[in-house]
Amino acid sequence: MLKSLIREEISQAFKYNEWLQSLLRVAECDSIMLKSLIREEISQAFKWWRELGLDKELMKERNQPLKWHTWSLEILQEPCFSEQRLDLTKPISLVYIIDDIFDVYGELDELTIFTQVDHEGLEKLPRYMKVFFEALDTITMEISMKICKSHGLNPTDSLRKSAN
């Protein structure tokens, strides 16, 4: 009963207030544009994931670019952060892949090497771990170059040291 009364009051308010109708149209347009932007971002996240090729190497891992990008959407909510959301989706995906490597793929001796590896020790790892480290390096370089271009600082060495 109360809900129908509230709906009726809102309906009456919109009927007689042109500015409310205009506001509603603007809100609808904004919503449509935001949905379009998010659809494009999700499409780009899926494209990036396919091009990365980890889904072919790690057949049992969670292949969930939508889930990974949803984290980015929640953290960076403003539409102006579209590029940053896509960049953030990449390391988030790697966190899930590391979890899968530990939970699904890795043997104890491999995981010991995996956690202590440096660039020289990569040859001791199985192929799927090497591919992961290549993806990690590619993503690190890509994000570092963007930071260097926009802020004049190259964080590559700091990021690599933090990974060890």
Q: What is the mean pLDDT of residues 133-155?
A: 89
Q: Write down the pLDDT at residue 71.
A: 95
Residue 109 lies in a domain: yes
Q: pLDDT (tens digit, 9 = 90+) per residue, 19-44?
A: 777 777 888 899 999 999 999 999 99
pTM comes to 0.78
- Residue 153 sits in which domain range? 39-163
How many domains are contained in the chain? 1
Residue 70 lies in a domain: yes
The span from the CA of 51 to the CA of 59, in Å, is 15
Residue 90 lies in a domain: yes
Q: What is the mean pLDDT of residues 145-158?
A: 88
Q: Write down the pLDDT at residue 80.
A: 94
Residue 23 lies in a domain: no
C-alpha dihedral sign at 18, 20, 25, 29: positive
Residue with structure tokens 């919503």?
31
The span from the CA of 46 to the CA of 128, in Å, is 20
Per-residue confidence band for 76, with pLDDT thresholds at 50, 70 and 90: very high
pLDDT, averaged across the chain: 85
Nearest-5° angle of CA 38, CA 56, CA 109? 115
Q: Write down the pLDDT at residue 82.
A: 95
74 pLDDT above the threshold of 70: yes
CB-CB contact of 135 with 86 (8 Å):
no
**CATH number of the domain that 122 lies in?**
1.10.600.10
Burial of 126 (0-12, 13-18, 19+ CB in 10 A): middle
What does the buried/exposed string (b/e) look like for 101-111 if buried means 16 or more CB atoms within 10 Å of the residue's CB? beeebbeeebe
CB-CB contact of 108 with 124 (8 Å):
no
Q: Write down the pLDDT at residue 10.
A: 72
Per-residue confidence band for 163, with pLDDT thresholds at 50, 70 and 90: low
* CB within 8 Å of 86: residues ≥ 6 apart: 41, 44, 45, 48, 69, 72
Q: Write down the pLDDT at residue 109.
A: 85
46 pLDDT above the threshold of 90: yes
